[in-house]
């Protein structure tokens, strides 16, 4: 008969090792889920900030089509919409990640003041360029490309970024006078 | 008769001992698995809350007209356009369908053309969520100390074209306004059938957006 002493310890170790591996993967899978949910939320916040910036740019294009066109017509260089930056104006300035925001709650009285935000973040217009202008009628149409960037401060040095770009056509009434 | 004294069976004590050792090993595993199931439910509720917050924010940012959203905490929704002084049929049917789906029970008012951005909904697993949207008008008067300014540089000069909100838009609902700040909160309890309002352990997520008046 062969000597089988010591086999038991090998079997037990193998068994323990297998269980340890299963537990490790289960724990890490749960940790990943928590991390992914957090990532999704911050990235989604950056997405809405970027669209907020795009709407802000569209609003300015709608309100000031003549002034915007003239900037390019007079060989203006740089970004004429550099001023559209949420951090420039107190009503839109979200600031940076702050632990003071932790108590923010819309359901509790005085826990969500008008000037405060639950997040830190910013949107700004990265680039505005005139692609072309169709000016053979009283109603001129200008084509623009707008690039908007947004970032959200996730705390602990983490920043979540989003960039969107759109091409727009803006009508500009000239009354036939150029 | 000869008896074999070197018997090779397993005694009752050995069996009990084996069960005891297995119990000691499996007890923490059992606790771990129970915790994992709870964690999975926790992530499920969080995912549901994120998805609902996204639905609300998408609807408010991209679907519901700018003028139909009224400021407040909770905000209001109306299909009555104060400029045309008419109830807009398309917006009315949009609000009737969308707002209850966005916020759940409790978003209706006595007026069928008006809703509020606040409600309670229950997911299929029985967890309760409260959703609320706050809207702040960034209008000229309330932000006049530091209003949002619309400006463009004039090439070749250090000057800028600079406009205040009240120079660009006429008053609507007694306000010079072009941008609304939207904050959405979804709050939930990780205990089934428990209102998050009465749960001190309730969790929350937020989304923030700025909606510009692109319709005027």
Mean pLDDT of chain B: 91
Q: How far apart are the first and last CA of chain A?
A: 108
Nearest Cβ partner for A59 among B61, B154, B212:
B212
- Count H helices and E strands in chain A, helices first: 2, 3
Nearest CA in chain A to B203: A105
**What global pTM score does this model have?**
0.87
User: Which of B54, B163, B208 shows the shortest C-beta gap to A117?
Assistant: B208
CB-CB under 8 Å, B39 with A49: no
CB proximity B29 to A under 8 Å: yes
Q: Which two tokens stand for residue B204?
A: 């929350």
Residues B55-97 pLDDT 10s: 999 999 999 999 999 999 999 999 999 888 999 999 999 999 9
Helix axes A7-63, B12-58, angle to 10 degrees: 10
pLDDT at position B7: 64
pLDDT at A161: 96
Peptide bond into B74 cis (omega under 30): yes
Contact indicator for B127, B192 with CB cutoff of 8 Å: yes
Q: Nearest-CA residue of chain B relative to A28?
A: B36
Chain A neighbors of B117, CB-CB under 8 A: none
Residue A5 has pLDDT above 70, yes or no: no
A118 touches chain B (CB under 8 A): yes
CB B132 within 8 A of CB A104: no
Compare CB distances from B208 to A48, A70, A90 and report the shortest one's residue: A48
CA distance A139 to chain B (A): 18
Q: How far is A157 from chain B (nearest CA, A)?
A: 20
| Contact status of A80 with chain B (Cβ, < 8 Å) | yes
Rounding to the nearest 10 degrees, give the CA dihedral for residues A134, A140, A143, A148: 170
Alpha-carbon gap, residue B78 to B84, rounded angstroms: 13
Q: Is B211 on the interface with A (CB under 8 A)?
A: yes
User: Is the Cβ pair A63, B150 closer than 8 Å?
Assistant: yes
Alpha carbons B165 and B163: distance in angstroms, whole number: 7
Q: What is the mean pLDDT of residues A82-98?
A: 89
- Residues of chain B scoring pLDDT < 50: none
B151 shares contact with chain A (CB less than 8 Å): yes
| pLDDT confidence tier of residue A19, bands split at 50, 70 and 90 | confident
How close B75 comes to chain A (CA, Å)? 11
Return the pLDDT at B50: 96
- The arithmetic mean of pLDDT across residues A60-72, rounded, is 93
Rounded Cα gap, residues A91 and A51, in angstroms: 17
CB contact under 8 A, A112 and B73: yes
């Amino acid at each position: 008969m062969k000597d089988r002493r010591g086999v038991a310890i090998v079997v037990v170790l193998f068994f323990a090792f297998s269980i340890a591996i299963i537990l490790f993967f289960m724990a890490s899978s749960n940790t990943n889920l928590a991390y992914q949910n957090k990532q999704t939320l911050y990235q989604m916040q950056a997405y809405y900030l970027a669209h907020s910036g795009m709407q802000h740019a569209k609003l300015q294009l709608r309100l000031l089509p003549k002034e915007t066109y003239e900037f390019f017509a007079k060989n203006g260089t740089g970004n004429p919409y550099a001023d559209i930056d949420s951090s420039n104006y107190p009503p839109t300035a979200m600031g940076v990640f702050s632990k003071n925001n932790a108590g923010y709650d819309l359901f509790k009285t005085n826990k969500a003041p008008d000037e405060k935000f639950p997040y830190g973040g910013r949107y700004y217009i990265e680039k505005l360029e005139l692609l072309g202008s169709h000016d053979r009628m009283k109603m001129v149409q200008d084509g623009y490309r707008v690039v908007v960037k947004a970032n959200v401060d996730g705390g602990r040095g983490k920043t979540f970024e989003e960039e969107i770009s759109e091409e727009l056509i803006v009508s500009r009434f000239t009354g036939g006078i150029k | 008769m000869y008896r074999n004294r070197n018997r090779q069976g397993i005694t009752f004590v050995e069996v009990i001992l084996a069960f005891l050792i297995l119990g000691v090993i499996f007890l923490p595993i059992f606790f771990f698995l129970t915790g994992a199931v709870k964690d999975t439910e926790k992530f499920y509720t969080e995912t549901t809350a994120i998805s609902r917050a996204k639905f609300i924010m998408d609807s408010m940012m991209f679907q519901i007209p700018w003028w139909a959203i009224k400021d407040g905490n909770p905000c209001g929704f109306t299909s009555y356009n104060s400029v045309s002084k008419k109830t807009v049929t398309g917006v009315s049917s949009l609000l009737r369908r969308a707002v209850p789906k966005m916020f759940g029970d409790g978003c209706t008012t006595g007026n069928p053309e008006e809703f509020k951005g606040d409600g309670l909904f229950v997911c299929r697993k029985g967890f309760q969520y409260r959703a609320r949207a706050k809207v702040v008008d960034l209008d000229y008067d309330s932000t006049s100390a530091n209003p949002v300014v619309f400006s463009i540089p004039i090439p070749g000069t250090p000057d800028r074209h600079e406009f205040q909100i009240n120079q660009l838009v006429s008053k609507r609902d007694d306000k010079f306004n072009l941008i609304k700040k939207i904050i959405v909160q979804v709050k939930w309890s990780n205990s089934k059938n428990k209102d998050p309002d009465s749960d001190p352990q309730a969790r929350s997520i937020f989304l923030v957006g700025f909606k510009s008046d692109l319709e005027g």
